[in-house]
Each structure stands twice: as C-alpha cells, then as structure tokens.
Amino acid sequence: MTWRQATREEIYKYYAKEFPSYVDELPAFITAEGPKQYALAFREPHPVRKDGVPDKDFIRRDTWQMNAAGDRTTAAFDKFDDVLEFIRHPARNDPLGQSDFALADPDLLDKPDPRPDAVYYALDHWERPWVLLVDIDAKTIARERATQAVSDEDATGDGEDLLDAAGILEADPAGYPYSFEDIERAIEYGFEVRDIFEDDFNAEETMVVYSGQGVHVYLLDTDPAHRYDAKSREVLNDLLQDTYEIPIDPVVTADRRRVARLPYSLHADVCSIVTPIESPNFDVQSATPEVLQS
Amino acid sequence: MSQSTPVEDERTAYRVATLPLEYGTTRINQLFTRGYNRYIVDGEDQPDDLLNDLERFGTAAFKEDVRADAAEEPFVDEPGTLAVLATLSAICVKAHPKFEHAPPRKVQVLYDIRELYVNNLASLLREFGDGSFQQDIAEVLYAKDPGEDGPHPGRVCTGIKEMPEFGEGLYLEIPVAAASRDCLIRADTERGETGELLTRVKNNHLYVPVGNFDTKYREYARRAFKKLLRVQEENLSEDQLTWLTTNESAITERIDRFIETGHYERIWRDWDQGERTIRVLRDAIRDAPDEVVLLGEFHSAKELFEAVEAYDPEADWKRDVCNRISSPRSLGNLLASQRDHRSLTIRQHRNTNHYRIQESARGVQPLTVESIEDLFELPCMANMAERLNEKKPVRKDLYNFSRMVMWLPQYQDSDLETIVADLKDVFSRWPWYDEQVTDYQIRYEFSNTIGGDTPLPMNCDNDDMQRYCIGQEQCPYSIWGSLPFPEEMYDQLDEAKSTGEEF
C-alpha cells in the first residue's frame, strides 16, 4: 500500500471499531482525568457557536474545571469512554457544552460533525508531575540526509528542491518529505535514546512510540531524581544532540506544556496508528488500521 | 545555616569570605571584625601594624608572580585578615588622585588586588577545607533558579570525584535534575566554532571538569569582591578614611611610579588600544633575533608581522594584541589607524608602506641611546657633565652614572672590559681624569652588587640628582621613563620595594 490520507469515513470507522480495542493498552497515566487536556486537530476549520469568532482547526479541552485558587472542581470526562465519545463526535460531545466557544452544533451546519485528523493529550498531568518526551522526526533526518547527499550546485534551497534533488520526494512514501528509510532510521534513533535513558540516566520506565512520521521516546520515572525542569531538559537536549548525536526536535523536550499524539490514535495524514513499540525492527506498515485494510 | 558568626567561627568566616553574595551586611562586617581583631593586642589597637600589612598587601598585589604564587601558597593566612587587607588596599587605590574620576572597572590595580584576594583565598581553602568547601561553592555557582516544581530538593553538587573513565582530574558531580546549561562545558576552539562538550553523563549525573569551577568562581569573585568593598567602604567613618589615606603611602607611591615610568598598562584596564599595539610591537621588535627588525628603522608590514608572529609574550594583554594581528595586512591596517602615534612614522616606499617604531615611554619623551654620550641629552646629565668640567665628581655621581650605564640594553650582555673601556672614554673628556683612578672606581661600582642583583639606576626623585635637576615639571624627560631600560629593571624595582616576611 501507499501512504495516503484517511477519509472522514475511515477516521470515524477507526475510532468506532478499532480504537476501543486498544483502550486497555493505553499507558496507565493516560486516563479521563489525568492529563490536564485533550486536544483535537481537524482537517478543515469548524465553526464555533459564538458569531464573529474564527473557525477552529485545533481545539484544546481541559479535563477539569478549576476554581479561582487553581484547584480542580468538576471533571469534564467521567470515564475514558467520554473521551472516546468526544473523539468520535467532537461537536456533539464538546466538554464546553453550550458555551459560546464550544464547537457549533452539527445539526445547524451544512458540513456537520468534524472528524479528528489527530488526537492529542497534554503531557502536563494532574497526578503526575512530569512526563518527559523526546521527539525524533523523519523529516529532520531526511533533510539532513539530503543536505549531505546533494552538492551545493544541485540544490537551490533547503526546502522541497533539496529533497527533490536527493530523490526523497519520489521514494516511498512518494510525495512525503521523507522516505521509509528515514522513518526506520528515526525508530533506530528512538531505541538509542531509550538505551541512553536507561544506561546513563538511570531510567526504569521508558516507552518508545511510533508517531506516524517518527518516534516519541518517553522517560516516565516518577522519582525526584527524574524531575527534570525546563533547564535540565535544555541540558538533556544539548547532550542528546551534541554528545550522542541524535537528531531530536529540542523544542518539544523542553516544553512540558505540549500536547503529544495519543497512543493508538490515528495519524490521519498517513493512515497510521500511533503505536508503542518494543523493537527497532518494528514494521511501520503493520501500524495501518485493520479497518482501512479491509 | 549555621548561627555561629564569622567572628568566632573559622568555618563561617571562610564561607562569608568566599561567598559574600550569599550573606548580608551584618555577616560581612563580622568577617571584617574578625580581621581587625588581629590588630588589637591586650585591648590596644595596633594601627601601625595594620597599615604596614595593608601596604604590603596592596603593593604585593601589583606583582604578577606574587599573585600567581598566592594561588599555590597563601600570602595571608586568615580569611578575616585577608578581607580587611584586600578591601583597605582597594580603598587606598580608589583614593589616589589619579583615579578620582575613574570608574573602578577601568583601574587595573583594583583587578590585581582582587586577583590576589581570590588566589589567596583559593589556596587557603585548599589548606583549610576537606573539599566540602568547594562543594559548598559549587552549590552556589551551579545553582539554577527554582523551576516549575520549586527548587531542586537535594544538593546541587553531590561530590567532587575522580572519574578515570572520563579522563584525568576531578569532576563536580551534579544530578541532572539539578543541572542547567551552566553545567555544560565546552572545549575552547577558534572563534565562532562550538567546542566539544567536556561535561559527561553517568548515573543520572553530570560530571563537570573542575577547571570550570575555577573559571566560574573568578566570575563570581568579581561581584563578590565588589560587595566586600562596598560594605567596607560603608563601614569606615570619615575619620577612619582620612586616617587611612593620610597615613598610607606605599600603595600611592607605587601607582605614582607606574605613572612616572610610563607603565600605563599596569594602571589602566583598557589602556589605550593604539598605545598597547605600539608597546607590543616594540617588545616584539626587541625580542626578534638577529636584528632582522630594529627599533627606529623602517620596516615593511610583513617584516614586522613576522616579528609579532615569533613573539611569545607572557602577559595576557600582550597576547591579546598579538592574536588580533592575523596577517601583514591586518598589521598594516592597525598601524595606519594609529598613524598619529608619536612613536610611529609611516613612509610610502614605492607602492608599499614602511613603518618605523621608536623607543618610547608614555608621557615622557623617549631617548634613543646608541652610545653613552646620548645620556647627556637628559638635562640633568647635561648639567652634571657641565659641573664635571669644573670639579671632580663626588663619588655618588660616578656611582649613579655607572649604574645607569649598567642597565642600558646594549651593555646588558657586554663583558666588563668593554663597559669599563667605554666609560673611561667618556670620563677622559674631563680635566680631572686619571685613567687608573677611574678604572678602579668603575670596577669597584660594578663589583658592588646587591645580593647578586645589579643595583638600580637613580631616578628623578633621587636626592643626589636634585642638584642637577631642572625641575620635573619643566623637563620633557624622565630617567626611568625615557631611557630604554629593560623590563627586568622595573621588576627588580618592584622586588626592592616590597621585601619582608609574610603576615
């Protein structure tokens, strides 16, 4: 098969049929009430209820309401099934309810019921003070590879021309700014980072997640020795890049307020399931949802 | 934190002396009290002893080797005394009329005092502590501001260790959770390049080479000493300050002499760029072998550049100047930008510029001394020569004259016979000249060394010169400033002025 975008129907089918079978396999800290937010991205901007407010292609929803003191008062989702309902029908199950800023009622629209192109959860967590995530993107690897492969005369810039000159745009998956080779390399790097975490940073709980176009490597230990604040994360970034020569996206590591793709959610741009993986030999084709294969 | 005060408790005194930025005025004043207590004997103040010690500290600080030695072996043996002597010396420097309107950051001698303080403190800590002090300091130097989850709960520096797997030397051990980018040390490289990371990782800790600790402490010490000085200044009453500046003379005199002898680089921090360039070129030319380039002669930028390239000075500021000269062209440009300098002449020769650097000392007119006769260009020496036409020399005249000659560069390595012959040649012009007497007198002076060192030449303040002096205000020359005496002469001058035991 080739890499392609999932259709609206395929996305719905995935979350209705296949995704629920993975829910029990989600990491224990990903619950209805744990992450401070869930977020959805849409392919096309969807209107909100209030007039004059721009349409949204990305929405974040708090899992809890807070009082003025910042304490939790009311949960947005009672159980993970509620999160699932929100993913399946965001406009009908928007935790903002009837608020002016909630997604517009699908019954009133010509293009009802937006489907999530991507589902995210916040690394910031109510019960878990720190989650560390390192992002390794196949695009970065491809660009570096192209820069090395292509001499100055052949490339006029560092964008598409460069990738084109290096033959990356033509290689499978065709049209994407990386090839399968780059994704495989990203996965290898991911396991290198996991080993570094375990060997040099004494991490016991780690996770490598295939993200669809690269990997996320998690350091999940909760003891204070791993309470890396933003400054320590900058150190980690520098070490990973300089000492270990891993091509990471340093912005992600340092920023605890980011959202990350929810494991087992669908990366709709490439029809791939975001999958926790155990080995660098992981076959990315196996992350294609069954509902799309049939 | 311990409640004991630096007055009674030595460990606390060390902490306050080392990390004054972490303490308030009260604790710092207690440190000074500890220092002053040393100058109270049987309930009586001993101001002369204090004065004597602070003058010795201040003048010793101006000597590079003393400052360097203090890093190995303490010059003052006690933190309170050290803080008092260093700050009072600095106050004396700041009170010098020359620095009345100068910002302290421009005054080199204040940097020297601070360096002696820091080096001295470092060697004291090494002798006193068991390494735990270094850990305390590292705690402060490498601490980061509290993060999102509050301050790091444990120690920032959990040890100072040998880590053979990372190479020789000691490493500061810092948990990653306590670390910031300040802990990432890179190797020195050419300008603009990022050096290799020297900080290593193991066991969820960073290992920072301890050499970086010294560098960081020096940065800290700059602000730390400023605080000590401010507290001391606020602590002194008007009367005490007047007493101090009225009675102190050694530090002031030493600064005066730097000025008189044109050693401006020892006084000013960012001493005039052009002056520095010319001074370094002059040294490089003097240092060049085989007289390939000479002072007072025209040379191409290439010839001068080769001299600079071969020159390997010890002083940091001189090295900086050399490093800035990267090619004959850059040297040419640099000299062109200084074309108004009185010691520099630029002449176009065919399509190339040629440059002449002359002997000089700042503020006074330089004299080129090719033969002993040239000494008579100094008005005082001309007066002396005139008087010798009428009267035999008093012994001191001959003595002073010989000493001056002994220090001329061209006689530094000459054998005694040559010097005696040349001096006799000069003396033979006077009517009282007796070859045998003069021969004996000269040889006597030359054998009359002081502890093996050549006796210093006279200077303009010398009492014996006053009968010939036309008045320093009117004279465009100065003996120590105008004559091409070598650096060693000035070094010896420093040593002569500051002998004595440690305190």
Question: Is B149 in CB contact (< 8 Å) with chain A?
Answer: yes
Give B 190-209 residues with CB within 8 A of chain A: 194, 196-197, 199-204, 206
Residues of chain A in contact with residue B179, where contact means CB-CB under 8 angstroms, are 231-232, 235
Residues of chain B in contact with residue A202, where contact means CB-CB under 8 angstroms, are 203-204
CB atoms < 10 A from the CB of A269, how many? 17
What is the per-residue pLDDT for B229? 96
Interface contact A224-B177, CB threshold 8 A: yes
The secondary structure of B110-141, three-state, reads HHHHHHHHHHHHHHHHHHHCCCHHHHHHHHHH
Interface contact B177-A200, CB threshold 8 A: no
Residue of A nearest to B198 (CA): A243
CB B134 within 8 A of CB A216: no
Q: How far apart are CA A218 and CA A206, in angstroms?
A: 5
CB atoms < 10 A from the CB of B170, how many? 18
In total, the C-beta contacts within 8 angstroms joining chain A to chain B are 69
Q: How far apart are CA A180 and CA A187, in angstroms?
A: 11
Give B 243-282 residues with CB within 8 A of chain A: none
Q: How far does the CA of residue A236 sit from the closest CA of chain B (Å)?
A: 8
ipTM, two decimals, is: 0.90
What is the per-residue pLDDT for A156? 56
Residues of chain A in contact with residue B195, where contact means CB-CB under 8 angstroms, are none
**Tens-place pLDDT, residues A86-133:** 999 999 999 999 899 999 998 888 888 899 999 999 999 999 888 999
CB A254 within 8 A of CB B180: no
- With b for 16 or more beta-carbon neighbours within 10 A and e for fewer, the B95-126 pattern comes to bbebbeeeeeeebbbbbbbbbbbbbbbbbbbe
Separation in Å, CA B485 to CA B261, B262, B410, B478: 10, 12, 10, 12
Residues of chain A in contact with residue B176, where contact means CB-CB under 8 angstroms, are 201, 225, 228, 232, 235-236
Q: How far does the CA of residue B479 sit from the closest CA of chain A (Å)?
A: 59
Residues of chain A in contact with residue B202, where contact means CB-CB under 8 angstroms, are 200
In a 10 Å sphere around its CB, with 0-12 CB exposed, 13-18 middle and 19+ buried, how is residue B390 labelled? exposed
Alpha helices in chain A (DSSP H): 8-13, 80-88, 138-149, 160-165, 180-200, 230-238, 250-254, 290-293
Interface contact A231-B147, CB threshold 8 A: yes
CB B327 within 8 A of CB B305: yes
What is the per-residue pLDDT for B498? 44
| Segment holding B416, helix H or strand E | helix B416-427
Question: Is A218 in CB contact (< 8 Å) with chain B?
Answer: no
Question: Is B437 in CB contact (< 8 Å) with chain A?
Answer: no
Q: How far apart are CA B168 and CA B163, in angstroms?
A: 7
CB A106 within 8 A of CB A60: no
**Token pair recorded at residue A48:** 């909100």
Q: Give the residue from A125, A204, A239, A241 with the most B CB atoms within 10 Å of its CB, the best one to mutate.
A: A239
Kindly tell me if the per-residue pLDDT of A34 is higher than 50. yes
Residue of B nearest to A227 (CA): B177
Each residue's pLDDT expressed in tens, for chain B with a length of 503 residues: 446 899 999 999 999 999 999 999 999 999 999 999 999 999 999 999 999 999 999 999 999 889 999 989 999 999 999 999 999 999 999 999 888 777 787 789 999 999 999 999 988 888 886 777 888 899 999 999 887 777 777 899 999 999 999 999 999 999 999 999 999 998 887 666 778 899 999 999 999 998 888 888 888 988 899 999 999 999 999 999 999 999 999 999 999 888 777 677 788 776 666 777 888 898 899 888 877 898 888 999 999 999 999 998 877 778 888 988 989 998 998 888 887 776 788 888 778 899 998 875 445 666 778 888 888 888 888 888 888 888 887 777 777 788 888 888 888 777 888 888 888 888 888 888 888 888 888 888 777 766 667 778 878 777 778 788 877 666 777 787 778 787 677 667 656 544 332 23
Residues of chain A in contact with residue B181, where contact means CB-CB under 8 angstroms, are 231, 234-235, 238
Residues of chain B in contact with residue A243, where contact means CB-CB under 8 angstroms, are 197, 200-201
Of B460, B459, B474, B482, the C-alpha closest to B364 is: B482
Q: How far does the CA of residue A18 sit from the closest CA of chain B (Å)?
A: 38
Q: Give the residue from A197, A219, A232, A240 with the most B CB atoms within 10 Å of its CB, the best one to mutate.
A: A232
Out of B149, B183, B203, closest to residue A235 by CB? B183
Interface contact B184-A256, CB threshold 8 A: no
Interface contact B147-A242, CB threshold 8 A: no
Q: How far apart are CA B233 and CA B104, in angstroms?
A: 14
**Tens-place pLDDT, residues A211-227:** 999 999 999 999 999 99
pTM (whole model) above 0.80: no
Interface contact B149-A229, CB threshold 8 A: yes
Q: How far does the CA of residue A179 sit from the closest CA of chain B (Å)?
A: 31
What is the per-residue pLDDT for B81? 97
Question: Is B158 in CB contact (< 8 Å) with chain A?
Answer: no
What is the per-residue pLDDT for B272? 64
Question: Is B496 in CB contact (< 8 Å) with chain A?
Answer: no
Q: Give the residue from A229, A245, A246, A255 with the most B CB atoms within 10 Å of its CB, the best one to mutate.
A: A229
Residues of chain B in contact with residue A256, where contact means CB-CB under 8 angstroms, are 148
Residues of chain B in contact with residue A236, where contact means CB-CB under 8 angstroms, are 176
∠B477-B481-B482 over CA atoms, to 5°?
50
Average pLDDT value over all residues in chain A: 91
Out of B177, B181, B202, closest to residue A227 by CB? B177
CB B156 within 8 A of CB B174: yes
Question: Is A12 in CB contact (< 8 Å) with chain B?
Answer: no
Residues of chain A in contact with residue B172, where contact means CB-CB under 8 angstroms, are none
Residues of chain A in contact with residue B144, where contact means CB-CB under 8 angstroms, are 229, 231
Residue of A nearest to B145 (CA): A231
Interface contact B148-A228, CB threshold 8 A: no
Q: How far apart are CA B308 and CA B287, in angstroms?
A: 9
Q: How far apart are CA B36 and CA B257, in angstroms?
A: 30
| Cα end-to-end distance, chain A, whole Å | 12
**Residue appearing with tokens 């209107």:** A47
Out of B149, B199, B202, closest to residue A227 by CB? B149
Sign of the CA dihedral B268, B283, B372, B437? Answer: positive
Kindly tell me if the per-residue pLDDT of A22 is higher than 80. yes
